[in-house]
Structure 1
C-alpha cells in the first residue's frame, strides 16, 4: 500500500517546513558528447538523423555540452540557491547497448557530477529514464518486448549499486505517457511507431519496468526515497462539444491515468483495462503496484482534445478556446487548473507531491544590447503558478517541493532548439551561459521564502 501523507503545518509563506526548491534537466537534452567515452546510441540519436525527425533538423550531439561544462552549471545552480538538482542518468552512457558490458567512463562521469553536487550543498535527485532508450534495445523491440522490464531492472541495479551510497532520491521514469503515446501511437517522438498493439504493450511493459525498478532501489539503496514522475493536465473537449467528449475521456485515460493508477491504485482505468487485458499475465498488477514515497508532477497547462478518426486512438490535440487568458505570455495560461490538479492528486493518490517540472517556453529569449536576457513572460508565468501552488496548499494539497523546468535552454525534443525553457540562456554556437532575469527572480524567491 502507498504511504499515507502526513499532516503538515505551513509557515508564514504558506509552505511546509523544509520545502524543497530545485531545477530539472535530462541527459539527452543537455549533455551532448553522444559519441564520446564509450557512450552508445539512443533512439533519439537515431530519430535526429531521420528526415523530419526533429522540426528544425537539429540534434542533441552537442546541445549544452554539459558533459564537459558541468562544473560551470553547478556554479550557476549555487548562484540561484537551489536545494536540489533533478537530472537523469543516460542509459546508453552506462550500458552502451542497453545490457551487457558496462561503460566505466560513463559511470565515472556521474560520480564526478554527484560528488560535486554534494560538495556544493545541492541534493542530487536522479531519474533512471528520461526517454533515451539504447538503440540496441530498440532493435530487439524496445518497450514492446516484455523482456524490457528485466533489462530496465538490470540497469537499475547497476545505477543503485554505484550511486546509492550518495543519491537517496530516485525517480524510475519521467513522463511515462508522453514517451509511450508519442513514441508508439502518435509519431511525435522516438521510436516513431504508430500502432495500437505496440502502444498497449509499451504501456504495460513500462509499468512492469517501473515496479521492478522500485524493488531494486528499495533493496540496494539504504534510506531511499523513491517516486515516479507523471505529466498530468486536465483534458477538456475542444469547444465543449459533445462530439469531442469521448475523445477527451479516452485521452484522459492515456495521458493522466494509464500509469499512476496501476502503479499506485493497482488497476488500469476502464477503457485501457479492456484493451490491454490480452497482454497482462497472472501476477502482473502486483509487480506493478509497488510502494513509493512521493508523486512527481510535471504540469504546464490543460489539454484540449478533439475527435480525430484518422489518429491511432481516434483522438487528437485541439485548440484552447478563443480569448483564453494569456496574461501577456503569448499562450493560454490556466494557473487555477494547476491548483486544482495538486489538490486532486493529494485526494486520489494520497502521496506527498513534488512538482518536478513547471516552466515557460518560447522563442523570444534573446540578449539585448547590454547582453541581458529580460524574460518577463517567464517571470509572469512562474509568479502565477507559484501563487496557484500556494492556493493549493491552502486547499489541502500536500506539496513538498518545486523544480523549475529547466536550468538551461536545451534540446527540446521534436522542437529542437526553437523553444527555450531555461533560467539560463545558452548561446549554442559559443556555449556561453547568461542568467536570465527569471534566474534572478527565482533566486530572490528562494531567498525570501527561506527567510520568512
Structure 2
C-alpha cells in the first residue's frame, strides 16, 4: 500500500450509505465527576494513585462536555458527520452500580440524543467504556459474576430510557478492561493478576451476553446491537517458527480469546496451553457460550497498530507489557514504518489485514463498523500527520471493502482532544483542539480535511 498526499481525500468512493462519524467516551470528555449525583468510578480512584497517570492528572475537568455539550454538537454538525459514537457513564445512572437509577444522569443523555437527532446525527451509544462504578470494584469488579449481572440491569435501564438510538454497543475493548486493567495494571483498577484477569475477560463477555438478551427482549423496530473490540494483528518479528508461535500466543491474548467466543461460539482450543498454571476456568458456567455467542447485528473494530511479536524465554515477561501473564512473548519495534507523535507504529496495512482476516476466519461475519481509528500527537493545529494517517487508513478500509468485507462506517477517534487515560492530557487525538485552561475549542486542519472528505463522498 503506497502513501498518499496528506492533503488529498480518498480516491476510491465508499459505498452508498457509508456512515462517517466521530467518537468519544464519557470519562475522557465529560468532567463534572461529582455533578448531579454521579458516583465515583474506578478511573476516579485509579487516577488518585501516585504515579498511575502522567503528571498526576485525572478526568475531573476533561473537556467539561457535561456542561458544554451543545457547543460540541454544533462542532459535529459543522463537520458534517452522519453519526456520533459516545458512551454513557455507568456511575451517572447508578452511582453505586445498581439499585434505583438517577434521573438526572439519564436526562443528560436524553438531551444529548434529542439534540443529535434534531441535527440528523445518528447516535451510536456505547454502554461500557471502562468507567465501572467503584462500589462494584470493591465487591470484586469484573472478577466476579455479580458485575456482569449488574451490567445487564444497567444496560436494560439505559436502553429503556433512551429512545431514538438505533445503534447500541455493549462493551468497548474488553481486552483493555480485563488484561490492561487486571493483568498489566496500566489501566483502572490497576491490578496485576493472572486468574483474576482471565475471570474479568470472561465476565465481561457474559455481561455482554446478558445485556444483549435483556435489550433484545424490549428492542424497538430497527435497533441494532453490537460490541466493539480493539484488534491488533499479531505479526511474527521474523520468519522463524519460534516467532510465528509467539505471534499466535499474542493473537490469542489480544484477539482470539474475545473473537472466538463472540463470533465462533467456542473458546480458543489453545487457551490452557498458552496460559499454563493460571488456566483455572472454574468461572465458566454451562450456557455461557450460548449467551456470549448470540448473533450480533454488527461488530465494532478499533484499530491503531499491529503488534510485532518475538519469542522470549519463559520466566522473563515482556517489561513493555508489565503483565502478570508470562506467555513467552516480547514485543519489538520493526525498522521502517513511521511512528505517530506518541511513538505508535503507523501501519495502515494492519487495518486491511484485520478486516479481511476477520472475514476469512469467521464465516457469516456481521457488518463491521470501524468504531475507532486515530492519530496521537502533541496538539498541533496544522496536524498534517493526522491527515496523512486518516487518509492512509481510509484507503486501507476501502481496499478491504473492495475485497468483499462488509464495512458500513468509519468513526474517527476523536472529536476532541481529551483525557487519554494513563497518558493524561499530553496525548491529543482530537480533530478539535481543546485549551484545557479555558475550554476553548479550535478546529484543527484535520477537522476541515475530514469535513471536505465526507462532503466529497456524498
The answer to whether TM tops 0.5 is: yes
Task: Determine the C-alpha separation between the residues in 2 that align with 1:144 and 1:300.
Answer: 27
1:152 to partner: Cα distance: 0.7
2:442 aligned residue (434, 437, 441): 434
Does 1:413 pair with 2:421? Answer: yes
Q: Which residue matches 1:321?
A: 334
Aligned runs of 1:139-288 on 2, under 5 Å?
Answer: 139-163=138-162, 165-222=163-220, 223-238=222-237, 243-272=242-271, 275=279, 277-288=281-292
1:255 to partner: Cα distance: 0.7
User: 3-state SS of the aligned residue for 2:309?
Assistant: strand
1:240 to partner: Cα distance: 5.4
Q: Which residue matches 1:49?
A: 48
1:88–1:128 CA contact under 8 A, matched in 2: yes
Task: Rate the CA distance shift 1:327–1:99 in 2: closer, same or farther, 3 A.
Answer: closer
Q: Which residue matches 2:3?
A: none
Q: Which residue matches 1:335?
A: 348
Q: Which residue matches 2:7?
A: none
Task: Rate the CA distance shift 1:201–1:48 in 2: closer, same or farther, 3 A.
Answer: same
User: 3-state SS of the aligned residue for 1:279?
Assistant: coil
2:307 aligned residue (297, 300, 303): 303
Does 1:383 pair with 2:391? Answer: yes
1:224 to partner: Cα distance: 1.6
Task: Determine the C-alpha separation between the residues in 1 that align with 2:407 and 2:259.
Answer: 17
1:415 to partner: Cα distance: 0.5
Task: Rate the CA distance shift 1:196–1:327 in 2: closer, same or farther, 3 A.
Answer: closer
Task: Determine the C-alpha separation between the residues in 1 that align with 2:450 and 2:76.
Answer: 11
Q: Which residue matches 1:8?
A: none
Query: How high is the TM-score relative to the length of structure 2?
Result: 0.90
Query: How high is the TM-score relative to the length of structure 1?
Result: 0.91
1:13 to partner: Cα distance: 4.1
Does 1:312 pair with 2:327? Answer: no
1:14–1:393 CA contact under 8 A, matched in 2: no
Gaps of 5+ in 1: 1-11, 367-372
1:177–1:231 CA contact under 8 A, matched in 2: yes
User: 3-state SS of the aligned residue for 1:285?
Assistant: helix
Does 1:361 pair with 2:365? Answer: no
User: 3-state SS of the aligned residue for 1:258?
Assistant: helix
Q: Which residue matches 1:136?
A: 135
2:420–2:427 CA contact under 8 A, matched in 1: yes
Task: Rate the CA distance shift 1:239–1:348 in 2: closer, same or farther, 3 A.
Answer: closer
2:341–2:376 CA contact under 8 A, matched in 1: no
Task: Rate the CA distance shift 1:329–1:184 in 2: closer, same or farther, 3 A.
Answer: closer
User: 3-state SS of the aligned residue for 2:361?
Assistant: helix
